[in-house]
Amino acid sequence: MNLKQAGSGSEVDERLAALITNANAVRAITAAVEGTIGPKGLDTMLVDRFGEVIITNDGVTILDKMDVNHPAAKMLINIAKAQQAEVGDGTTTATLMAGGLVAEGLNQVLRGVPVARVIEGIRYGVTQALAGIDSRARMIDEIDDPVLRNIAMIAGREYRDIADLVVEAARLIGIDKLSEHHFKLSDIITAQEGAGNEVFMGVIIDKERMSQEMPRELTKAKVLIVDDALEPEEIGDEALGTETGFKRYIELQDEFKANIHKIIELGINVILVDRGVHDSAEEILIDGNVMVMQRVNTKDLRRVAEHVGARMIKRTGLKKSLADIEKYVGYADKVYQDEKLEQVRILGGQGKPMATILVGAATEEVVGERERIAKDAASSVQAAVKGGYVPGGGSIEIALARQVEKSRENIKGMAAYGVDCVVNALKRPLSQIVENAGYNPLEKVEEVIAAQSEQGVDSLGIDCDTGTVMDMLTKGVIDPALVKTNAIKAAGEVAVAILRIDTIIKKKEEHEQSAAKPVKGSEPGLPDF
DSSP string, 151-190: HHHHHTTT-HHHHHHHHHHHHHH-HHHHT-SS--GGGGEE
Q: What's residue 237's pLDDT?
A: 66
What sign for the dihedral angle of Cα 499, 502, 504, 507?
negative
Helix residue ranges, H only, 336-440: 364-387, 395-407, 415-426, 428-436
Can you give the residue ranges of every domain in the chain?
Answer: 7-138+390-519, 205-337
Q: What is the rounded end-to-end Cα distance, in angstroms, of the chain?
A: 32
**Which amino acid appears at position 250 of this protein?**
I
Question: Is 194:363 a contact under the CB 8 Å cutoff?
Answer: no
Phi, psi (degrees; rounded to nearest 5) at 273:
-120, 135
> What does the pLDDT read at residue 15?
63
Q: Classify 205-337 by CATH class.
A: alpha beta
Question: How far is the C-alpha of 196 from the C-alpha of 191, rounded, in Å?
Answer: 10
Distance CA 109, CA 122 (A): 13
Question: For residue 198, which amino acid is it?
Answer: E
189-193 vs 330-338, strand pairing mode: unpaired
Taking the C-alpha atoms of residue 235 and residue 242, their distance in angstroms, rounded to an integer, is 11
352-388 confidence digits (pLDDT tens) = 878 889 998 887 778 888 998 999 999 999 999 999 9
Please say whether the beta carbons of 81 and 15 come within 8 A.
no
Residue type, 142: E
Contacts of 191 (CB under 8 A, 6+ apart): 358, 359, 360, 361, 367, 368, 370, 371, 374
Q: What is the pLDDT of residue 308?
A: 95
| 163, 154 contact by CB (below 8 A) | no
Count of C-beta atoms within a 10 Å radius of residue 360: 18
pLDDT-flagged residues of the chain (< 70)? 1-15, 236-237, 239-241, 510-529
Fold of 7-138+390-519: GROEL; domain 1 (1.10.560)
Half-sphere exposure (CA, 13 Å, Cβ side) for 488?
32
Give the model's pLDDT for residue 507.
77
Phi, psi angles (nearest 5°) of residue 198: -160, 145
